[in-house]
Structure 1
């Protein structure tokens, strides 16, 4: 764990961060004193109260960038905006993701290309842009969000499995190119986190199968996390914070599972 205000003076860009895990990581960074740029597709006026609340609670700068990461120009504009609003990015979290559910035979090529663009290419471009500034600052932390499905396959999710596997290779390549310097790169590998997507799925199960919420959670997680519960967003954020501190200096290129024992099966 990092000390209070241990990241004062640092600037963080977190893609896909107006809710769920992305927002939890952004708030944790802000609680340690880091200025943050949130990212999403929502109208800026809708997100303004969220940024203001973070500023009021933690005494940091909190900006928001609306950017469609399917477009390389939007990724570049997002990084440029971050530099103009909070300063050079010292901590980059590539968290934004899209996913589509279909078998391979029926998978639309448009959805496939979208997943490659958002889940992989955007992470590559953002990293490419922030690396020089990190080296100049003599401090940099890059985090790519992968998944248990980047390690194990599953059906009807070919875009997600493929891109989450690719992001691990990207992580290792970045780690080797930054080895021995002030920048490190890791991939965090959560299991099932209770995001709005899965919360909606639980509600559907409760309606269709007449289950209670605890029963729906047990059914959903059967065969996945032996812990029997969803991974807490704060658990993932706490691992992130550890690697932002001194303990992260001698770690590079790790693929870190936070999955309630799923991969131990």
Structure 2
């Protein structure tokens, strides 16, 4: 599945899931635009490394996904946007009655509203090019719920809804929109939580992973960033021309329960 000649813009992609997706898209031949809210030398160096490793054009563009005008500017600055991967997201855990209003606003802005703004800016670009793919990184929490994650669950359910609307509005065009719904993914952030969780519960690493972190994931295995990236490559390929407006769960069976 080659994506040679296509340009992919991936939000929130200087680490974790977004970076894994960017690497897999570049591996498939796509030029990539990395993004986050920082503007460090290492951000630009990361893009340069990916470009050299896979023989593609790779750039880093700073944009704060909590601000609609910066979301739209990201697409404009990218020049072209054949594949848009809306990945940026944050999390906060608290009961509804104790949930800080500012955290709610930030999660809705970054996890949901940013996808609206980038998509609104990207669709005219895709229409002009005569082809496009919008891939929204939702979550198992876009299909089900957990307590104490009201903003995250609401935002991810909203992403799934936005995905369906986008697909319907582009259904007669060579543009598709789908959502990927990961379960727990082994990222550096999750990896860093394991030692503290081991200490908290007095468990060894394997037990913490199986009984605490992956309690709701029947496979008892993390999804990997490479697997999510591979799913993006598939959705961007011609094999997925008639896949639109749906969700693909990469959750080890979580939403089958």
Alignment TM-score, normalising by the size of structure 1: 0.93
What is the alpha-carbon distance in structure 1 between the residues aligned to residue 218 and residue 105 of structure 2? Answer: 34
Segments of structure 2 that go 5 or more residues without pairing to the other structure are: none
Moved over 6 A (4+): none
Report if the CA contact (8 A) 1:30-1:58 is conserved: yes
Pairwise CA distance, 1:254: 1.1
Aligned twin of 1:90: 82
Query: Which residue of the other structure, out of 113, 118, 139, is the alignment partner of 1:126?
Result: 118
Aligned twin of 1:149: 141
Is residue 233 from structure 1 mapped to residue 203 from structure 2 by the alignment? no
Deviations 1:155-212 (A, max 9, x none): 1111100000000000000000000211000000011001233223212112223332
Aligned twin of 1:193: 185
Pick which of 44-53 and 57-66 moved more: 44-53
What is the alpha-carbon distance in structure 1 between the residues aligned to residue 90 and residue 211 of structure 2? Answer: 25
Pick which of 168-177 and 45-54 moved more: 45-54
Pairwise CA distance, 1:222: 4.6
Aligned twin of 1:169: 161
What is the alpha-carbon distance in structure 1 between the residues aligned to residue 91 and residue 256 of structure 2? Answer: 26
Is residue 69 from structure 1 mapped to residue 65 from structure 2 by the alignment? yes
Report if the CA contact (8 A) 2:214-2:222 is conserved: no
What do you get for the CA RMSD once the two structures are aligned?
1.2
What is the alpha-carbon distance in structure 2 between the residues aligned to residue 190 and residue 184 of structure 1? Answer: 19
Aligned twin of 2:29: 33
What is the alpha-carbon distance in structure 2 between the residues aligned to residue 150 and residue 129 of structure 1? Answer: 23
Report if the CA contact (8 A) 1:206-1:216 is conserved: yes
Report if the CA contact (8 A) 2:108-2:152 is conserved: no
What is the alpha-carbon distance in structure 2 between the residues aligned to residue 263 and residue 73 of structure 1? Answer: 35
What is the alpha-carbon distance in structure 1 between the residues aligned to residue 118 and residue 214 of structure 2? Answer: 36
Is residue 115 from structure 1 mapped to residue 111 from structure 2 by the alignment? no
Aligned twin of 2:212: 220
Report if the CA contact (8 A) 1:54-1:62 is conserved: yes
What is the alpha-carbon distance in structure 2 between the residues aligned to residue 235 and residue 173 of structure 1? Answer: 26
